[in-house]
Chains A and B, each alone.
Chain A
Amino acid sequence: MVGKRTLRAAALLLVPVVMATATGCWNRREIETIGFVLAAGVDEAQEEGKIQLTVLIAKPFAIGAGMGTHGTTEEKPFWVVSSTGYTVFEAVRNLLSQSPRRPFWAHNRFIVVGEEFARKGIGDVLDLFCRDGESRLRVWIVVAKGAKASDLLQTEFELERMPPEGAMGLLEAARMGLSTVGEDMLNDFLQRLEGEGIDPIATRAEIVPRPQEFDIRGELKREKIGGSLRLTGAAVFRNDRLVGWLNKPETRGFNWITGKVRSGIIVIEKPGEEGKFIGLEILRAKGAFKPEVKDGRVTVTVKIEAEANVGDIQGFIDLFKSPELWASMERRMATVIENEVLAAVAKAQELGSDIFGFGAELNRRDPKKWASEFRDRWDEEFRDIDVQVEVKAKLRRSGLVLRSTRIRK
C-alpha cells in the first residue's frame, strides 16, 4: 500500500506536467494568424462547373492606422480576394494559397450572390454556411443586380471605411427608415426553401458607379474609388433560383403584407391642387393576410393598419379649418398603400413565386384541403389568386405647425 505522503508528492509532481500540457488545445488560433472574413460573394467561375468565391477580409493594421492624427490613411482597411473550386468549401480552402492568414468566418455578415449565378440556383452554395461551425445562420443574403458578387464586394462607402460595416448600416437604416428592402437572413431563407407554399426573397443591391474625375465631394484619398452600393428592393426566388426583382415600392408592398413595414415616407398628391405633394411619415403599421377557399378558388384578404404623421406639405393648407381635407389625405394614403400591395402581388404572380407564403398560411389554416387540393398545383393556383386589400389609414399629427406658411403675393 502506498502511503498518503507518497501520493501527495506524486500529485505535486503532476502539477508542472499538467501546466505544461494544458496550455492550449489542438485548435487554438492566435489572432495574428487569422483573417476576419466580413463578407463573401459567390459567382460562376470561368472554368466550367466551378464556383468563384470572393471574400472581403479585414486588414487589422490598416484599421488602426486610420485613427492617427492624419485622419485617414491611403491604405484600404480591407482586402478582396477570389478563389475557385467545385464546391464552396474547396474554394474557401483554396484561398490559403493566396492568403497568409487563415480565413475566419464567425464574423461574416453577408453572402452576396451575382445575378447570373443566382438565376441558376443558389441552394448548393448555402450548404457550407449552415454546416460549418464558424459561419452563422444570421447572415444576410444579398443578390447583386446586373453585376457579379465580386464587383459588389469592391464597392465602398464615403462614411464607413469598412464596406461591410457600411452595408450593415445601410441595411439597418433602410429597414428602419424606408421599409424598401427585402430582409431575409440565411435562417429565414432556408425555412422558406424548405417550407410548403412559400418562396424565398433576398436583399437586392446595385452598384452605383462613381468615376473619380467628376466627384470630388468628400473624396477619400485613394488612387481609385470604386462604385458604391445601393439597396434597391428585393430579389425574388422560385425555389432556389432567382426569377426576378421587386423594385422599392413593390418591396414595400411586400413588407406591408408580411407586416415588416416599420417606417417610410408615403407621398400623396395634394387634394385640390395639382402638381403639389404631401409627404407622410409612417409611424407604425400592422399587416396580416387571410386566405380563404370559395368554390375551389383562393381569395386572399390583406388587412393593413397604418398610422402616419404629416411630414411636409407643398403649397398652402389650413388643416385647422378643413377636417374633410384630413380625411381625404387619409384616403389617398390608403390608396397608395393599396397600390403598393397590389403591385407586389401582381409582380409575384407574374414571376410565379409565392413570396408572401399565401400557400403556407392556407396550409396552417386547413392542412387537409391544402394537401388534397392545392399542394401539387400551387404554382398555377397562385397565379390566379384574387387579392383583396383592406387598408385602415390614420393620420395622427401634423408636426409643429397647424397651418402652412402662406406666401403673400
Chain B
Amino acid sequence: MSKVEGGKIPGRQLMAVLVLSRVVPMTVAFPMMTELQVPQDAWIASLLGTLLSIPFVLLVVRLGLRFPDKTIIEYSELLLGKYLGKLVGLILIWYWISVVADVARELGEAYTIAIMPETPILVFMTVTGFLAANAARDGLEVVGRMGENGVWVVLFFLIVMFVLPYDEMRFKNLAPVLARGVRPLAAPTGTVVSFFLQFIVLGMVLPYLNRPKDAARYSVYAVLASGLLMTWLTVVLVAVFGPTVSHLAMPAFSLSRMISIADFLERIEAITMGAWTLSSAIKLALFLWASAVGLAQVFGVSRFQPLVYPLGAIAIAFGILFFESNLDLQRFLQFKNLGVYSLMVTLGTMGVLYLAALLRGRLPLGPGVRR
C-alpha cells in the first residue's frame, strides 16, 4: 500500500502542535476552572493533572514505536485483526472529529460572546475550519511548520497576558492551601487529564517523525510545557479574580481585559483573541489531518486530501448540532461528560491495543513490523 501521507516532521514541531492544541482549552473556555469548588487550589489540580498525564503519553509513544512506520490506525489492524482493528480505528477517528467539532464551536462561542454577539456563529466556525482544512490538506509538514511558527506568537501573547495584570494580582487569594482537602480537586484534575488524553493523536504523528527516538522526549516536553503554562495561568487567574474565578465563561479573556498599564496600555484583549484563533486553527488542522489520514487508512484510500473538506464540513456541522447553547457546550466540557467520554475512548482503545500487543508479544506481528 502506498503511503497516504509522505511528509516527515522534526520532534520540535510535534511538540509545538501538541502544546498549541493543549493551549486551546486554557485560553478559550477553561473547563477546569468552572469545575472548581475551591478556587485557590486550582494550581494543585493543574499540576497534578499534568503529572498524571505523562504515563499515558509515554504509553502511546511506547506502543507506537513498536511499529515505527505504522500509524495507530494501521497497527490496530495488525494487532486486533481486520474488523476489530478497523472498528477501533473508526472509534478514534470519531473521537478526533468530535474534538474538531467542539474546538470549532468553542472558538465560535468565544467570538460571539466576547465581541460580535449578533454575528452568526457559523461564520467564525467555517472561516477557521476552512483555513485549518486547507492546512491539513497540505499534509503534516505544513501543519507542523504552522505549529512551529505559531507557537512563539501564542507564547508571547500568553506571557503578556500572564504578566501584565500584575497590578490586580493579590496572591493572598491563593491561601489557604487545601482547606477542604483533596476531594474537591478530583473533578478539575480529571478535566485536566481528559484534555491531555487528546494527545492520543500522537499515534498518527509518530511514524512521520524524522527521528522517532525523539518522540518520547518531545511529547513529555509538550506535556510539561503546556502543564506549566496552565499552572501559571491558574495562579494568575486566582490572584486576579479570587473566589469569583469559577464564574467566568472565558477566564483568560476576562484576564486580558483587566490589563491596564498607566491608563495607556489597556483594552488589549485582542491578544487573547489572537492566541485563541491561532492555537484553535492549528489544533483544528492537526485533528482534521489525523482523522482524514486515519479514514484513508481504514478504508484503504490512497490519498487523504479529498477527505479533508468533507470531514471538516461534517465536523463543523456537528459543532453546530451537538450543542444547543454555550451552557450546553460548557456542561459538555465538564469532567462528568467529556472527561468520562475521553477516558473511555482513549484509555479503552489504548488498553485494548496494549493488551493485544502484550498477548502477541511472542507471535510474529506480520510483515513490515520490526522488533
9 contacts across the A-B interface (CB closer than 8 A) = A26-B118, A133-B117, A138-B258, A138-B260, A187-B168, A187-B244, A195-B243, A363-B176, A366-B176
Chain A residues with CB under 8 Å of B120's CB are 26
- B119 contacts A194, CB within 8 Å? no
- A191 contacts B176, CB within 8 Å? no
- A367 contacts B242, CB within 8 Å? no
Chain B residues with CB under 8 Å of A138's CB are 257-258, 260
- B179 contacts A26, CB within 8 Å? no
- B114 contacts A133, CB within 8 Å? yes
- Tell yes or no: A319 within 8 A of B by CB: no
Chain B residues with CB under 8 Å of A137's CB are 254, 257-258
CA gap between A363 and B174 in the complex, in Å: 12
Given known contacts A137-B254, A187-B258, A191-B243, A365 and B119 CB-to-CB distance under 8 angstroms: no
- Tell yes or no: B172 within 8 A of A by CB: yes
CA gap between A27 and B115 in the complex, in Å: 8
CA gap between A69 and B24 in the complex, in Å: 55
- Tell yes or no: A136 within 8 A of B by CB: yes
- B179 contacts A191, CB within 8 Å? no
CA gap between A187 and B176 in the complex, in Å: 21
Identify which of residues 115-165 in chain A touch chain B, using a CB-to-CB cut-off of 8 Å: 133, 136-138
Chain B residues with CB under 8 Å of A26's CB are 116, 118-120, 123
- Tell yes or no: B267 within 8 A of A by CB: yes
- Tell yes or no: A317 within 8 A of B by CB: no
Number of interface residues, chain A, beta carbon within 8 A: 20
- Tell yes or no: B240 within 8 A of A by CB: yes
- Tell yes or no: B157 within 8 A of A by CB: no
Give the interface size class of chain B.
Answer: 20 to 34
Given known contacts A138-B260, A191-B243, A27 and B254 CB-to-CB distance under 8 angstroms: no
- B242 contacts A195, CB within 8 Å? yes
- Tell yes or no: A293 within 8 A of B by CB: no
In the complex, besides A26-B118, A363-B176, A371-B179, 10 extra interface pairs with C-beta distance below 8 angstroms are A25-B123, A27-B117, A187-B168, A187-B240, A187-B244, A191-B241, A194-B243, A363-B179, A367-B176, A367-B179
- A190 contacts B172, CB within 8 Å? no
Identify which of residues 204-250 in chain B touch chain A, using a CB-to-CB cut-off of 8 Å: 240-244
Residue of A nearest to B172 (CB): A364
- A106 contacts B119, CB within 8 Å? no
Q: Which B positions have Cβ atoms within 8 angstroms of A?
A: 113-120, 123, 168, 172-173, 175-176, 179-180, 240-244, 254, 257-258, 260, 267
The 8 A CB mask of A343-377 against B (1 = contact, 0 = none) is 00000000000000000000111111001000000
Chain A residues with CB under 8 Å of B176's CB are 363-367
Q: Which A positions have Cβ atoms within 8 angstroms of B?
A: 25-27, 106, 133, 136-138, 187, 190-191, 194-195, 363-368, 371
Given known contacts A137-B258, A138-B260, A367-B179, A27 and B244 CB-to-CB distance under 8 angstroms: no
Nearest-CB distance from B113 to chain A (Å)?
Answer: 7
- B117 contacts A191, CB within 8 Å? no
Given known contacts A136-B257, A137-B258, A363-B176, A194 and B115 CB-to-CB distance under 8 angstroms: no
CA gap between A365 and B240 in the complex, in Å: 20
Nearest-CB distance from B115 to chain A (Å)?
Answer: 6
CA gap between A365 and B243 in the complex, in Å: 17
CA gap between A149 and B126 in the complex, in Å: 46
Q: Give the 8 A-B residue pairs with the shortest CB-CB distance, closest first.
A: A367-B179, A364-B175, A26-B119, A191-B242, A27-B116, A367-B176, A194-B243, A364-B176
- A27 contacts B179, CB within 8 Å? no
Given known contacts A138-B260, A363-B179, A133 and B113 CB-to-CB distance under 8 angstroms: yes
Nearest-CB distance from B138 to chain A (Å)?
Answer: 16
